[in-house]
Amino acid sequence: MSLPARFLRDPSVERLIESALREDLGTGDVTTRRTVPAAARAKARLWSREAGLAAGLPIFARVFRRLDRRVGVKIRMAEGGRFRRGQLLAELQGPARAILSGERVALNLLQRLCGIATLTAAYVAEARRGSRAVKLLDTRKTTPGLRLLEKYAVACGGGVNHRLRLDDAILIKDNHLKVAGSVAEAVRRARGGGLAVEVEVETLAELDQALAAGADTVLLDNFPLERLRAAQARVGAFNRGRKRKVFTEASGGVTLATLRAVAATGVDSISVGALTHSVRALDLSLEFLPQ
């Protein structure tokens, strides 16, 4: 699996870790300072309390090392790997104060990222039951400040990252169209400059406008299955004999229950905001060994 490891190397990730620790620590962990000697050392193990997919273990380790570089973390699970309930994911040893003070931030990040990867893997598997070729895309419906990590977790789960920021690609949505006046006019204005143009359409008539105007991808928003099939047939006919193909993306209210049928319509990709905007954190536990 090819993961966007560059996301983890982005300077904003280090700033995120610093901000999260500052938010949690305030002026310092008073409980740990008063009860644990400065020289005390500890060993701890990270366990899974339910089955899932690994994502973010390097970030988990970086939280502790940010507090004290002497904390050693041995990761026992590859990113994107499946683990069972009760499986050992990592081992830690080093200054006890740093491990105790970093525990909550490290777990909060890791549990959310593993939850996203696990949910994404379930969506990918279901989508492929409808079409082996379809791509499952994420969206910008991410937690503010966590986008890089959440999109990384989607990739760990087998999903494909859509645009990361507003400067990555042109995606003309319904509110843009209300200001621009029409699909055709919006696409005409957006073309050029080397960026692909994607436009959201809500009817077959708007789809025809998008094709005629030269859109690269059409976002079929909240299309029922019958209309999705009709739209895909129109795009297929339009693409016949053309070197530059127009791609299709289905979006809007897609769930695990409807995903297979949507994929079976033949669309090239399906975007699902639920992968990041309403995911459940996975249950993980950091247990200290008796000293």
Q: Are 198 and 219 in contact (CB under 8 A)?
A: yes
* Residue 79 is among the residues annotated as catalytic for this protein: no
The C-alpha atoms of residue 220 and residue 223 are separated, in whole angstroms, by 6
Q: Which pair of tokens denotes residue 159?
A: 């999903």
The C-alpha atoms of residue 202 and residue 274 are separated, in whole angstroms, by 21
Strand 217-221, strand 269-271: pairing: unpaired
Strand partners, 83: 52
185 Cα distance to chain centroid: 32
* Residue 104 is among the residues annotated as catalytic for this protein: yes
Question: Considering 15, 173, 178, 280, which one is annotated as catalytic?
Answer: 173
Question: Considering 29, 126, 150, 200, which one is annotated as catalytic?
Answer: 200
* Length in residues, the chain: 291
Question: Considering 198, 221, 249, 268, which one is annotated as catalytic?
Answer: 221
Strand 284-288, strand 217-221: pairing: unpaired
* Residue 43 is among the residues annotated as catalytic for this protein: no
* Residue 173 is among the residues annotated as catalytic for this protein: yes
124 Cα distance to chain centroid: 13
Question: Considering 82, 104, 188, 229, which one is annotated as catalytic?
Answer: 104
Residues with a known catalytic role? 104, 141, 173, 200, 221
